[in-house]
């Protein structure tokens, strides 16, 4: 491990530099001389001591340094996950959580969140088929993210909005709200009614597909993670007038450990590509094709028929959803959740997120 002197001065945990009650830095980093060097350094079994030119002493537990070093972080994943195709997911026999235990017990909630974090999807069973109960569920783990579609939404194939979600058409796999600068973190679906045929939901682990791309064509993975593009939502239907634009690459990775944390994939909503120079465009399309081929492999598709009482939570930064075309009357309700607040709940329950 290598540490920079300014870093070592900046992270001093002494009472005058750091408020351990609020976990906030008191030290004004801008007051640290960028050429600072310790006057003396001393090491015992467990601790490293620095005395700075002004006499201030900083002590570091060696364990703390190991845990907080760049080298230590580089080897760690931020969020452990189990990547899946249909077979892996089905064999895992991930249990659904019951409505009552989800709402009333810490274990129920924790089991649910653990599965959700590992697989990017999770189900709650025996939910009364109403919008109010669905809202209660959502509020147990997060804040509802209000969007142009409302807070809780409730939709049928009535074409009330300028989007094909509001029809009976099939929808190919995609993530939602790619046209937001921060796409919605979680999507909640509860089918309240369906009198007709078809309408099954398709789920595909985008991270599993991306991992295949990384294995087979690392330079294509890199391109998809480097090239920013726009997604766009333009609506002029009735009273609804919206124009949303979100910019970012298809694959979003942390630069220090290359861990994938978000996929932005919606071929319907992808805008004109005008952020990519001529000599990159063709390579980008090739990489996009490779990813699409992985995403479309039948063995990566997990199909479910949503039923009243069974609520599905989808990690919209990871798992793509789609649907089969349908006939008859179908009513879906749900909402989006803010990702920070789901992770907050998970961490408070002791989960790594």
Ligand X SMILES: O=C(O)CCC(=O)C(=O)O
**Residue 98 CA neighbour count, 13 Å, CB half:** 5
Q: How many residues bind ligand X (CB under 6 A)?
A: 7
- Residue 231 or 321 with smaller CB distance to ligand X: 321
Of 36-44, 148-156, 217-225, 273-281, which part binds ligand M3L (CB under 6 A)? 148-156
Cβ 229 vs Cβ 273: under 8 Å:
yes
Site residues for ligand X, 198-227, by CB under 6 A, read 201
Task: Report which residue's Cβ sits closest to Fe ion.
Answer: 176
155 touching ligand M3L, by CB under 6 A: yes
Per-residue binder mask for Fe ion (CB under 5 A), 172-191, x = binder: ----x---------------
Backbone phi and psi for residue 166, each to the nearest 5 degrees, phi listed first: -90, 30
Report, in Å, the least distance between residue 187 CB and ligand X. Answer: 7
Q: Does 321 bind ligand X (CB under 6 A)?
A: yes
- Find the shortest distance in angstroms from Cβ 299 to Fe ion: 22
- Which of 122, 323, 342, 343 binds ligand X (CB under 6 A)? It is 323
Dist. CA 339–CA 177, nearest whole Å: 13
Q: Which residue is nearest to ligand X (CB)?
A: 323
| CB nearer ligand M3L, residue 176 or residue 315 | 176
Q: Least distance to ligand X from the beta carbon of 21, Å? A: 44
**Count of residues interacting with ligand M3L (CB under 6 A):** 11
Nearest distance, CB of residue 134 and Fe ion, angstroms:
17
Measured CA to CA, the distance from residue 344 to residue 346 in angstroms comes to: 5
Interface with ligand X (CB under 6 A), residue from 186, 332, 337, 342: 332
The answer to whether residue 171 forms part of the interface with ligand X (CB under 6 A) is yes
Identify whether the C-beta of residue 200 lies closer than 8 Å to the C-beta of residue 305.
yes
Q: Which C-beta is closer to ligand X: that of 11 or that of 194? A: 194
User: In this structure, are residues 127 and 312 in contact, taking their beta carbons and an 8 Å threshold?
Assistant: no
Name residues contacting Fe ion, limited to 286-325 (CB under 5 A). Answer: none
Which residues would be at the binding site for Fe ion (CB under 5 A)?
A: 176
Which residues would be at the binding site for ligand M3L (CB under 6 A)?
A: 149, 153, 155, 163, 165, 174, 176-177, 266, 268-269
């Amino acid at each position: 491990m290598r540490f920079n002197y300014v870093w070592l001065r900046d992270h001093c945990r002494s009472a005058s530099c750091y408020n351990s009650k609020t976990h906030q830095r008191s030290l004004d980093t801008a007051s640290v001389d960028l050429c600072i060097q310790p006057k003396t350094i001393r090491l015992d079994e467990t601790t490293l001591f620095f005395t700075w030119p002004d006499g201030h002493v900083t002590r570091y537990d060696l364990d703390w340094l190991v845990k907080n070093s760049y080298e230590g972080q580089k080897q760690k994943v931020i969020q452990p996950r189990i990547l899946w195709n249909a077979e892996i997911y089905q064999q895992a026999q991930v249990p659904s959580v019951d409505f009552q235990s989800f709402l009333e017990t810490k274990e129920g909630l924790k089991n649910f969140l653990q599965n959700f974090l590992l697989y990017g999807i999770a189900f709650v069973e025996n939910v009364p088929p109403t919008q109010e109960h669905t809202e209660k569920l959502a509020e147990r783990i997060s804040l509802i993210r209000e969007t142009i579609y409302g807070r809780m939404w409730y939709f049928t194939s009535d074409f009330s909005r300028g989007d094909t979600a509001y029809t009976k058409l099939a929808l190919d796999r995609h993530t939602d709200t790619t046209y937001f600068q921060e796409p919605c973190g979680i999507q909640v679906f509860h089918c309240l009614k369906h009198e007709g045929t078809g309408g099954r939901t398709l789920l595909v682990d985008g991270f599993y597909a991306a991992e295949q791309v990384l294995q087979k064509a690392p330079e294509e993975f890199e391109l998809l993670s480097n090239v920013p593009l726009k997604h766009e939502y333009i609506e002029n239907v009735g009273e609804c007038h919206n124009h949303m634009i979100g910019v970012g690459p298809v694959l979003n990775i942390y630069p220090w450990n290359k861990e994938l944390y978000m996929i932005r994939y919606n071929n319907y909503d992808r805008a004109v590509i005008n952020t990519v120079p001529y000599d990159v465009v063709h390579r980008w399309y090739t990489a996009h094709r490779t990813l699409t081929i992985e995403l479309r492999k039948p063995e990566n598709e997990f199909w479910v028929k949503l039923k009243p009482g069974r609520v599905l939570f989808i990690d919209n930064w990871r798992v793509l959803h789609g649907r089969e075309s349908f006939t008859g009357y179908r009513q879906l309700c749900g909402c989006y959740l803010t990702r920070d607040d789901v992770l907050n709940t998970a961490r408070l329950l002791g989960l790594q997120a």
